Each structure stands twice: as C-alpha cells, then as structure tokens.
Structure 1
Amino acid sequence: MELTIYHTNDIHSHLHDYERIAAYMAQHRPELNHPSLYIDIGDHVDLSAPVTEATHGQKNVQLLNAAHCDIATIGNNEGMTISHDDLNALYEDADFTVTCSNVFDEEGNLPHHMTSSFIETIEDTHILFVAATAPFTPFYRALDWVVTDPMAAIKDEIEKQKGQYDVLIVMSHCGIFFDRKLCEELPEIDVIFGSHTHHYFEHGEVKNGVLMAAAGKYGHYLGEVDLKIENKKVVHKEAKLLPVDTLPEVDTHFAEEGKCLMSDPIIDHPVDLPRRTDVITKTSYLLAQSVYEFTHADCTIINAGLIVKGINGPKVTEFDVHQMLPHPINAVRIKISGKDLKSVILTAEEQNYMHEHAQGLGFRGDIFGGYILYKMGYIESEARFFVQGKEIEDDHIYTLGTIDMYTFGRYFPIFKDLPTEYLMPEFLRDIFKKKLLEL
C-alpha cells in the first residue's frame, strides 16, 4: 500500500498562502491512485490576523474543514493566545480529528473536542497518531490549563495503545531539538511531523531511522510524505516540500473581511495617536501608563516598537486598535529587588535594540524601538535611581509591570529567574482600549 500524507504547520493565519495550498490539494488529492491524508501540526491560528481575532479562530477551522483536513493538533497559539473558553469552543464545528496528549484542564480533562491520540485505519493498517505541544507552563497555568512534559506524554500514549497499531506517527509542536531527542529515545517512530521552531526539511531528515518532516512557516511550503507499507510495516518513506510559489494563485479577501468584522467604533471623535520608535510619543506614553495601571505595579517598562501603526482619523474602531497592537502579548508583574531594578534601568538606558529588526517572542512589529520607563528614572550625573519620585532601595522588593516578551531572557536575562505573574488572557490592545476610553 502507498500512502501520501500532506502536512502544514505554523500557518499563523497567513490565510492567502494557505488557500493556495488548499487549492493545490483540492486538485491533486483526487488524482492520486492511492489513499492520502492531510494533517496540520498547530499554530494555524494567529490573532494578529483581524479575521482570526474577530472570529476567535473559527475562520481558521472553517478553512481547515474546506481543505479536508483529517487530523490536527494545537500549537502554543491555539493553546495560549485565546481564552480557556475559546479553546474549548474552537473545534466545536471541526470536521477533522483534533489530538493532543499533554494539555488538560484542572480536573484532568482534555480540551473539548480533542482526543489524546487517534488511530486511522487504512486498508487494514492501523496508523497511530500521537501529538504534543510545547510546555509553556506559566502561560497555560494562567489560563487554567495544565501542560505536561511532552516526552512523557507521548511515551505514555504509545504505551497505552500498545498492540493496537502498526504504524507510529508523531505530530510534534515542540520544536526541532525536541524532535531530534525523540528520535533517539523512540526509534520505533516511523515519522515525526515537526513544527513550532519554523524549521523545514526539503527532503526530510532521518535520525536513528526516524524520518522527520517539517514545512517551515506561514504557508511558505506544503509538505508531502510518501510511505510504502507492506505487511502493515513501513518499508520505504520519503519527504519533499512544495514551495507556495509553485502552487495555484487564488483570489482571497481575508483582509477586507476582517476589517469589516472589526468596524465597530470604540471612540466616536477625532483622535491623533502618532507612531515613532525613536522618541517617546503620546501614544507610547499612554501604552506604558495603561500597562502600569493594569498591572498595579510600582513602575513599568515597555518598548516603543510595540506600537506598530499610528491612528489618525475621525474615530477609532476595533480594527484600528488591532492594527496598532496586533501582538499576542500579555502584561506581567515581576517581583524585583531594588538592586536588580537599577541594572534593568541601566540596560534600558543603553537602548541597544532601538533600531533592531525584531521578531518572534510574540512580537508582530518590525523595529524594536526605544525603551519607555514609566514611574522610574535615573539621574546619570548623580548615579541616583528613582521609583515614583523616591530613591530606589537595594533590598526593597518592587513590582515591575511589563510584557511577557521580556521574560524569555533575550532583552533582560535577569527576568528569567524572577517571580513572575502572567496576566491573561488580555492582550496589550485590550488593555490599551480601556485607556482610550478616557481620551
């Protein structure tokens, strides 16, 4: 038996290119003279797309249905950027199986409409699909989910299904380094479909006898794995990628649809909120102030590049605010000593990233921009540091209100080891909207 498995991952709501992929599969899957499946390995949803935000991800599920998806798993965007209730409702109308082995509610139940693994039977061959997602524990806990160790979860699920399957496939939204470790620990896996780290393999990568396949990000590629199965065992396996530029062109209107769905006005009077990344503006000051107030902190730090687009017009709509702050970024409260806070202020004063092109860590802008400090400061000539007009005491513990992007260690490595409270599910745009109502 021959089996073709098409796969996508990390689409991140780049829906125009995704529709090109769907058009290709719609044309070519029926032309195959053997069975085929289509699977998605997570992060199809991204709330930076207005149509995804406006529909709470339901538009993405509709498109997966239309593309005749057979099996999908969740990435961190499905698991962490939408509310607990929205994840429970996300796949209510899905025509495909959704599987994930390592995300549960506090009673130990999987999210609604999900299964811990899935066996697909094709011509008497039983194919086990096991999936897991990256364990961003603090974020999941803030949304009342429990995420467990993906390696242990995959092993447990395989053991639970022992004797019930012939072919073993893992759908991993855990990244390339995890996948390579998985190859070492579970060489009985036939194929790992990988994602999360946006890596791709033009012809797959074989490690310890396991074929790894991955299709990059944003719909740049459609992945295809071809299996030859004899006597219920995989005897040959190969992978390839189809670049989106080689796929059919299509006509889509997702941008217009999203704008229409988010056309309700928040403010019905003229507003001028400029965008600058190299100086403090009224806009960035208001954003810093809104984070400060939302976190109930002693002081706040953000970067000006969070403002992706300014607003100038007779009113402000939901779409305007979304375009200004399209990130899935949340506010955090960090407990920090006065001594460490001084080092943060000094680091910020250096402005090393002001003109840098930033990406990842939830950031959906381009230039990182300069730091904005709110309710704290530094008199360089006197080497004196202040919070709310009072000199910082080295041994005092302060509450710093900032953004989750800084807690991953790149910009302020010290934050990784400090007590942090993630404030979810509100994004920066939700926080900022409340501030705008005061204008």
Structure 2
Amino acid sequence: MIETIHIYHTNDVHSHFENWPKIRLLLQQRQQMHNINGESVFLFDIGDHVDRWHPFSEGTLGKGNITLLNEAGYDAVTIGNNEGITLPHEALNTLYENAQFDVILANLFNEQQLRPNWVQPYKVYTTKNGVKIGVVAVTAPFTKLYELLGWTISEPLEELGKQLRELNKHVDVIVVLSHLGIHDDRKIAKLFPEVDVILGGHTHHVLLDGEYVNQSILAAAGKYGRYVGYVELAIDLEAKKAVNKSALLFETSQLPAPSGEMNEIQQYNIEGKRLLSTKLVNLPETLTTDWFTESPLAQLLCEAINEWCGADCAFLNAGLVLDHLQRGTVTKFDIHRILPHPINPCLITLTGEQLHDILRATLDPKWINMELKGLGFRGRIMGKFIYHDIRFDQQQIYIKNRPLQLDHIYKLGTIDMYTFGHFFPHIHEAEKQYFMPEFLRDVLAWKLQNVYPASKRCTSL
C-alpha cells in the first residue's frame, strides 16, 4: 500500500509581499483539498522570509512576517541570514514568540552554547498512516556576524551529521530544510545517503522539476515568492520508505488572485509607513543625491561612516542613496526609503600600498553603471564612488591632505558589502571590524541629528 505525502515550500521571499496574497491563497486551497482527501500535507519556509528593505518588515522588526506565515498555515520554518544577522539579538530572540508553527534549526546557539528556547534542531511529524517524517534544518554560517550579535553558529554540515545520526533511529523519511545554497545541498545529498528530500534556498536557485543527486531530490523556489515549490513523495507503507519522489514549481504570476489583492499589498506599505512615522529631524534645506557625481547627501553619509567607524578616511558608492531628502520633517520612513539596504558600516585595516591599489580601482568607470543584486544591496546600480578625507591629484593620493604613505597603516571606513563580494581583493582579505546591529540608515539619522541640532528633533535612535 502506498501513502502520498504532499510538501509545499517557499524560500527567500525577502518580504516581496506583492506575491504573498496569491501564495497564501494557493497554500490554503491546497491544504483544504488534501485534508478533504484524507492526505498528509506539510508547509515549510526555508528562510529569508523577512527582509528589512520593506517598511512593513522594518516597522515590525519581522513580526509582521510571522503573522503572514501563521495565516498561511505553515508547519515549520528555518531561518536565513536575513533573519539571523540583520535583526538585533533581542529582536531575533523574540521574533517567533507568537508563531503558530515550529522553528527548526540545528546550528544556532546562544553565547552559553545552548540552543535558544524558540528553536529545535529537528522535529518528527507523523502522517495519517503512521509514517514518521524527520525534518532537520541548517543555515549559512556567517560566523563572525552572528558572534557580533551575541549568537554562535556551528558548522552546518557537521551539525547536520550529528542530528541525522540521532534522527535516523526514529524516522522513516528525512527532509532537510537547507538555507545553505545549491552547492552545499548537492554536497549534503552525496554525504548523507539517508536524506530523502532537500528543500533549499539562499542562492535563489530555481529547480523547475527538482534535481536528483544520488538518492535525494533537491527542490528550490527561486526568490521573491515568484514560485511556490511542491514535492510529492510516494511511501511504501510496508517497507516504510519512499519509492517515488517528484518536484515541481507553481509560477506565482500564473496563479489566481484573491479578491482585494492590490489593496492588501498596498496596506503593507501603508502600515509600514505608519509604524515608521517617528520624526527624527527638520531639514532647513533639501539634501540631494546623484548616482553619477558628487552630491550633498551621499557625501554626508560617507562622512558619517568615517566618524562612526573612527576611520582615517572613507568611501562608498553613490548608488546606495536611492533618493533625495526633502526640506522639512524627516521621519524614520524617509530614511528607510532612501537607504533600505540591510548593510552595516565596517572598518578595514590596510597598508598604504593596499589602500592605494583599492582607491585606484575605484576610479575605474566600469563601476558607475554596474547593476548589482544581493550582498545586502537593494538599489539598482553601483554609481560613482564618493570619498571623505581622500583626494586624488594627478598621480598622487592624499589622505587627510597628506600624501598617502605606502608603508603606513590606515583605517578605512566603508560598508560590509565590499567584504562579502570580490570587488576589492585587499578588502576581502583584510582585518575587518563590523559595526552591528546599526545599518547605514541608522548612521545617517545619527549624523543628521548632529548636523541639525537646532531642528528640535523628536526622538533619538
């Protein structure tokens, strides 16, 4: 006798709520259909559902996302790096306090090396016919960043191996929720033959019909809620093992829209704006920005980063600042609108020779129109590089109006984005100090309140 198990999964929604009403309707309808048919159905999210680029997620510090997951009827979720390292410690520690689903994650611990009380390394679910499904989860190990926020993250594949050795004793089917990326998912399938299903995310890969690696089926649904994943397992009830596995994706744009869809999407923005309506400062003048040349607002942000980090000099790309700040009252929403990125300030220690090479590289015109996605960047293009206490004069570079000394040690203030990618190899390899949990928008708000103290600001950060 065969039991069919139905699994629906999402990953890397990144608070793209424009797709959420359709996703919720599909999931609710499918759950209802399978329940009427007496079939077992499970819903999982693989992390990065929260993204603070959206004002609703910023205003609720992610708790609004949890309400949406509750409404859709999820059984379990794991966390991605956007939940893990873009929220302050206490915000993550309380994020799931009203969750009506399980939070599964094997490789997150607090500073006492204990798992927080809101998470479990694995969970065993039992189907209507008694099949035991073990669900275990791991997330990407941004070790240093987790430590700065008061967490410890262990090596995911090693931790997964520990949990599987225990889980194997009690279950018939094993499902891994993996916020590690496609390459590690393939590695899991090769290292652990007992794993039946790997539901993936992090690298935003799209597996239209799944991918078979050895005995495992890999499934993933891209990004931004553009797809919803579906895995079907056929279980031989005598052998208690999967005899057939298949996967497909539902394209969200082709799904029916619920009534009131556009109004609901708009309401998320309206509520976010309301939650971020706190007044920060009154500007006596409009601060403009320009992606292609120097501008007051980008220059002010660069100066703010330099001060915040205690640096000798600073630079950043103008494309970070998405719009002007208009004269008059500036709210948290206004700052969030122009700097939605979950990007932190960073201090880099470099030799003069390394700094010289980096600064010369920033002059390459290729950067200005370069389109960029990921690494925390939520804009469109890089734009021109903007500098503070850095000056170019023909072949000479000046730091604080003094010629750059190749054998000197310098402290460069910049953004963490440059340390994750391969923009500048010297930065990637250098000693770094990350400033967390503050984002660029927090630093700009702090600077504005210092530059315009007579504005009688209404609140502090």
TM-score, normalized by length of structure 2? 0.93
Question: 1:87 deviation in Å?
Answer: 0.6
Distance 1:355 1:341 in 2: 23
Q: Secondary structure at the match of 1:224?
A: strand
In the TM superposition, 1:6-405 aligns within 5 A as 6-32=8-34, 33=37, 34-122=39-127, 123-231=129-237, 232-249=240-257, 250-251=261-262, 252=264, 253-380=267-394, 383-405=395-417
Distance 1:79 1:111 in 2: 13
Distance 2:420 2:443 in 1: 21
Count how many residue pairs are aligned between Structure 1 and Structure 2.
Answer: 437
Question: 1:409 deviation in Å?
Answer: 3.6
Indicate conservation of the 8 Å contact 1:351/1:371, yes or no: no
Question: 1:222 deviation in Å?
Answer: 0.7
Q: Secondary structure at the match of 2:302?
A: helix
Indicate conservation of the 8 Å contact 1:284/1:307, yes or no: yes
Q: Secondary structure at the match of 2:398?
A: strand
Question: 1:269 deviation in Å?
Answer: 4.5
Indicate conservation of the 8 Å contact 1:291/1:331, yes or no: yes
CA RMSD of aligned residues (A): 1.2
Indicate conservation of the 8 Å contact 1:337/1:398, yes or no: yes
Q: Deviations over 1:129-184 (max 9, x none)?
A: 11000111121121121111111011111112231111111000000011111111
Q: Secondary structure at the match of 2:315?
A: strand
Indicate conservation of the 8 Å contact 1:262/1:317, yes or no: yes
Distance 2:171 2:33 in 1: 28
Residue 458 of structure 2 is matched in structure 1 by none
Letter in 1 for 2:376: G
Distance 2:103 2:80 in 1: 12
Residue 2 of structure 1 is matched in structure 2 by 4
Q: Deviations over 1:199-258 (max 9, x none)?
A: 011110101121000000000001111111112211111001000012232241211111
Letter in 2 for 1:158: L
The 3 A distance-change label for structure 1 pair 283 and 151 is same
Residue 425 of structure 1 is matched in structure 2 by 437
Residue 455 of structure 2 is matched in structure 1 by none
Question: 1:359 deviation in Å?
Answer: 1.2
Distance 1:324 1:42 in 2: 25
Distance 2:176 2:120 in 1: 14
Indicate conservation of the 8 Å contact 1:409/1:415, yes or no: no
Percentage of identical aligned residues: 39
Indicate conservation of the 8 Å contact 1:270/1:315, yes or no: no
Indicate conservation of the 8 Å contact 1:127/1:167, yes or no: yes
Letter in 1 for 2:422: R
Letter in 2 for 1:85: E
Letter in 2 for 1:234: A
Indicate conservation of the 8 Å contact 1:89/1:112, yes or no: no
The answer to whether structure 1 residue 410 and structure 2 residue 422 are counterparts is yes
Distance 1:120 1:279 in 2: 57
Question: 1:313 deviation in Å?
Answer: 4.1
Distance 1:230 1:54 in 2: 48
Indicate conservation of the 8 Å contact 1:12/1:46, yes or no: yes
Q: Secondary structure at the match of 2:326?
A: strand
Q: Secondary structure at the match of 1:202?
A: coil
Question: 1:109 deviation in Å?
Answer: 1.7
Letter in 2 for 1:436: L
Question: 1:194 deviation in Å?
Answer: 0.5
Distance 2:144 2:322 in 1: 27
Indicate conservation of the 8 Å contact 1:345/1:377, yes or no: no
Distance 2:123 2:30 in 1: 25
Indicate conservation of the 8 Å contact 2:287/2:327, yes or no: no
Residue 456 of structure 2 is matched in structure 1 by none
Distance 1:57 1:109 in 2: 23
Distance 1:152 1:56 in 2: 31
Q: Secondary structure at the match of 1:120?
A: strand
Distance 1:166 1:316 in 2: 57
Unaligned runs of 5+ in 1: none
Indicate conservation of the 8 Å contact 1:140/1:147, yes or no: yes
- Moved runs in structure 1, 4+ residues, more than 4 A? none
Letter in 1 for 2:5: L
Indicate conservation of the 8 Å contact 2:282/2:327, yes or no: no
